[in-house]
Amino acid sequence: MKNTIIKFAIAAILGLSVIAPIATFATHYTSKQEEVEAKIETKILQSLNADSMYNNIKSLAKTPRVAGTQQEDAAVAFIKKQFDSYGYKAKVQAFTFNDYTAPHTIGLEVERFSVKLDPQALEYSVSGKVTGEVIDAGLGQKKDLEQMDLTGKIALLQRGVISFKEKMLNVAAKGAIGVIFFNNEPGNIMGSLGEPHEGFVPSVLLTQTEGETMISHIKKYPRAVASLKIEGAKSEKNTSHNVIATKKPNVSQKAKETHDIVVISAHHDSVAGAPGANDDASGTAMTLELARVMKAIPTHTEIRFITFGAEELGLLGSTHYVEQLSKGEISRIVANFNLDMVGSKDAGDLILQTVDNKPNLVTELAQEASTDLNGEPTPYNQGENSDHVPFAKAGIPAALFIHNPAEPWYHKPEDSIDKISKEKLQDVSEIVTLAVMNQTRREYYAK
Ligand code: BES
Ligand code: ZN
Q: Which domain holds residue 23?
A: 1-37
175 and 281 belong to one structural domain: no
Pairwise CA distance, residues 426 & 233, whole Å: 45
- Binning pLDDT at 50, 70 and 90, where does residue 347 land? very high
Residues constituting the chain: 447
Q: What integer pLDDT is reported at residue 144 of this predicted model?
A: 93
- Binning pLDDT at 50, 70 and 90, where does residue 2 land? very low
Residue 6 has pLDDT above 50, yes or no: no
- Binning pLDDT at 50, 70 and 90, where does residue 19 land? very low
Residues with Cβ within 8 Å of residue 358, at least 6 apart in sequence:
none
- Binning pLDDT at 50, 70 and 90, where does residue 97 land? very high
* pLDDT tens digits along 110-120: 999 999 999 99
52 and 19 belong to one structural domain: no
In one letter, which amino acid is 90?
A
CATH (domain of 221): 3.50.30.30
Residue 328 has pLDDT above 80, yes or no: yes
Q: What integer pLDDT is reported at residue 37 of this predicted model?
A: 77
Mean pLDDT of the chain: 92
68 and 19 belong to one structural domain: no
280 and 390 belong to one structural domain: yes
Q: What integer pLDDT is reported at residue 252 of this predicted model?
A: 85
DSSP states along 46-84: HH--HHHHHHHHHHHTTS---TTSHHHHHHHHHHHHHHH
CATH (domain of 76): 3.40.630.10
290 and 414 belong to one structural domain: yes
| Count of domains observed in the chain | 3
Name the pairing type of β-strands 225-231 and 105-110. antiparallel
* pLDDT tens digits along 238-287: 999 999 999 999 998 888 899 999 999 999 999 999 999 999 999 999 99
Q: What is the helix (H) or strand (E) element at residue 45, kind and residue range?
A: helix 32-47
- The answer to whether 292 touches 89, Cβ cutoff 8 Å, is no
Residue among 311, 297, 323, 232 nearest 268 (CA)? 311
pLDDT above 70 covers what percent of the chain? 92
161 and 243 belong to one structural domain: no
Instruction: Give the ligand at the shortest distance from the Cα of 284.
Output: 2
Q: Ligand 1: list residues with CB < 6 Å.
A: 279-280, 311-312, 314-315, 340-341, 383, 385-386, 402, 406, 410
Residue 445 has pLDDT above 90, yes or no: no
Residue 12 has pLDDT above 50, yes or no: no
Q: What integer pLDDT is reported at residue 320 of this predicted model?
A: 98
- Binning pLDDT at 50, 70 and 90, where does residue 350 land? very high
Most informative mutation of 385, 387, 403, 415 for ligand 1 (most atoms within 8 A of CB) = 385
| CA nearest ligand 1 atom 4, residue | 385
Ligand 2 centroid vs 398 CA: distance in angstroms? 16
Q: Is residue 290 part of a domain?
A: yes
Longest alpha-carbon distance in the chain? 93
Q: Is residue 42 part of a domain?
A: no
* pLDDT tens digits along 392-429: 999 999 999 999 999 999 999 999 999 999 999 999 99
User: Could you give the angle at the alpha carbon of 31 between the alpha carbons of 27 and 32, nearest 5°?
Assistant: 105
317 and 431 belong to one structural domain: yes
243, HSE (Cβ side, Cα atoms, 13 Å): 26
- The answer to whether 179 touches 191, Cβ cutoff 8 Å, is no
Give this prediction's pTM: 0.85
- The answer to whether 127 touches 233, Cβ cutoff 8 Å, is yes
Q: Phi and psi (nearest 5°) for 53? A: -65, -45
Pairwise CA distance, residues 292 & 79, whole Å: 12
247 and 227 belong to one structural domain: no
Residue among 43, 114, 1 nearest 294 (CA)? 43
**Average pLDDT value for residue range 127-142:** 98
Ligand 1 centroid vs 314 CA: distance in angstroms? 9
Q: Is residue 288 part of a domain?
A: yes
85 and 124 belong to one structural domain: no
Q: What integer pLDDT is reported at residue 11 of this predicted model?
A: 39
Instruction: Give the ligand at the shortest distance from the Cα of 383.
Output: 1
| CA nearest ligand 1 atom 13, residue | 312
Name the pairing type of β-strands 203-206 and 178-182. parallel
Q: Is residue 285 part of a domain?
A: yes
Q: Where are the alpha helices (DSSP H) in 146-295?
A: 164-173, 208-220, 283-294
Pairwise CA distance, residues 343 & 381, whole Å: 19
Residues with Cβ within 8 Å of residue 246, at least 6 apart in sequence:
88, 91, 302, 303, 304, 305
Pairwise CA distance, residues 75 & 241, whole Å: 10
- The answer to whether 90 touches 77, Cβ cutoff 8 Å, is no
In one letter, which amino acid is 209?
T
Ligand 2 centroid vs 109 CA: distance in angstroms? 40
- The answer to whether 40 touches 297, Cβ cutoff 8 Å, is yes
174 and 196 belong to one structural domain: yes
How big, in percent rounded to 5, are the helix, strand and coil portions of the chain? 35, 25, 40
213 and 254 belong to one structural domain: no
Q: Is residue 369 part of a domain?
A: yes
Q: Hey, which residues does 159 pair with through a beta bridge?
A: none
Which of 174, 201, 232 is the last residue before a domain boundary? 232
Pairwise CA distance, residues 40 & 16, whole Å: 10
Give the strand order in the sheet containing 398-404: 91-101, 234-247, 302-308, 261-267, 333-339, 398-404, 349-354, 380-382
Q: What integer pLDDT is reported at residue 255 of this predicted model?
A: 84
320 and 415 belong to one structural domain: yes
- The answer to whether 122 touches 205, Cβ cutoff 8 Å, is yes
Instruction: Give the ligand at the shortest distance from the Cα of 389.
Output: 1
Residue 154 has pLDDT above 80, yes or no: yes
Q: What is the helix (H) or strand (E) element at residue 100, kind and residue range?
A: strand 91-101
Residue 17 has pLDDT above 50, yes or no: no
Most informative mutation of 267, 340, 349, 386 for ligand 1 (most atoms within 8 A of CB) = 386
